[in-house]
Chains A and B, each alone.
Chain A
Amino acid sequence: MLNLINTFINSPLDQFESQTFFSIFTPFMDMNNFNITTFALYTFIVLFIIISLFMFTNNNNMIMGSKWFITQEMIYDTMVNTIKNQMGGKLWGFYMPFIYTFFMFILVSNLLSMIPYSFALTAQFVFIISLSFMVWLGMTIMGFYKHGLVFFALFVPQGTPLVLVPLLVLIEMMSYIMRSLSLGLRLAANVMAGHLLMIILGGLLMQFMSINILTTILGFIPLLIILCVVMLEFAIAMIQSYVWTVLMASYMKDVQYLH
């Protein structure tokens, strides 16, 4: 039987805390990094979902996939079109699998976190911002590797008067550096704010509906509004993964072609 006392959530932020399920203890070294936490468990669930999406739809490795394979083809086609439009040129094909991987991971973990009482993987600020910082760092290193010192031409827009160059370089460099933070912060803040909003509204309505029988009936009207919020959150879960993809492709274009 469901124990309602233990599932009561004291603070709306409790849902983002990760517990340790399994840990290794040795007297001679620190093995904390091998703990199986909620975070690790949900990462494995996301991996399992993505792999099974591909395995169950490919129709026993025949040439044509099953009917369900059209979902995979749609996602792939959307990604190809988006990245091709954003990056242009000939190099988009090299980086398409990389960006597609990010898209699938963020999409599946966003949608997985919409299941009630589950864990929001993309609301973990440390994880998502370190992910975006690593992407940014890798792109910057690739830009230097590819263009050498000409890479700094990225910070000077074409047709700038010489007087304005020092100021513009500062501004462009700031905006380039802030990309590392803003890419991850956008996703994590969206998901976190959405989950907090849903749990706060749900908690308020739960209190309101449990007063007496009249408020239980009256409470169905705000329940419809909360349903709209939940639908918006589902939309945001998908839109944010798309936004990550588009921005990553456009950053990649900046690094590859410099303007």
Chain B
Amino acid sequence: MQLVLAAKYIGAGISATGLIGAGIGIAIVFAALINGVSRNPSLRDTLFPMAILGFALSEATGLFCLMISFMLMFMGA
């Protein structure tokens, strides 16, 4: 039983590493936004909603991993 509990916590920890990808993705999105705005500041109003959309989409994929780790830690026996 202790082994199962340990495996549960190890699994929760491993699944949280998926957030690395989400972090890199969000960084790429905002780096591209800064790049684009510094090259052409007049495009700021068109680029910003696209950046927010990209942020939300890439964050969501990371949150799937976080959700799995929360589920492993707090759900069921």
| Shortest distance between the CB of A29 and any CB in chain B (Å) | 33
In Å, the complex CA distance between A186 and B64 comes to 8
In Å, the complex CA distance between A11 and B71 comes to 11
- Interface residue SS majority, chain A: helix
In Å, the complex CA distance between A189 and B15 comes to 15
27 residue pairs bridging A and B, Cβ less than 8 Å apart:
A11-B74, A12-B70, A13-B74, A185-B64, A186-B56, A186-B57, A189-B63, A189-B67, A190-B56, A190-B59, A190-B60, A190-B63, A193-B63, A193-B66, A194-B63, A197-B66, A236-B59, A239-B52, A239-B55, A240-B56, A242-B52, A242-B56, A243-B53, A243-B56, A243-B57, A243-B60, A246-B53
| Shortest distance between the CB of B56 and any CB in chain A (Å) | 5
A51-93 toward B: CB 8 Å interface, digit per residue (1/0)?
A: 0000000000000000000000000000000100000000000
Q: Is B20 an interface residue (CB 8 A)?
A: no
B36-67 toward A: CB 8 Å interface, digit per residue (1/0)?
A: 00000000000001001101110110011011
Since A192-B67, A192-B70, A193-B63 are in contact, a sample of 14 more A-B pairs with Cβ atoms closer than 8 Å, ordered by chain A residue number, is A12-B74, A13-B75, A189-B60, A189-B64, A190-B60, A190-B63, A193-B66, A196-B67, A196-B70, A196-B74, A239-B52, A242-B52, A243-B60, A246-B53
Q: Which residues of A contact B52 (CB under 8 A)?
A: 239, 242
In Å, the complex CA distance between A194 and B62 comes to 12
Q: How large is the interface on B (under 10, 10 to 19, 20 to 34, 35 or more residues)?
A: 10 to 19
Q: Which residues of B contact A13 (CB under 8 A)?
A: 74-75
- Interface residue SS majority, chain B: helix
A215-259 toward B: CB 8 Å interface, digit per residue (1/0)?
A: 000000000000000000000100110110010000000000000
Interface residues of A (CB under 8 A from B): 11-13, 82, 185-186, 189-190, 192-194, 196-197, 236, 239-240, 242-243, 246
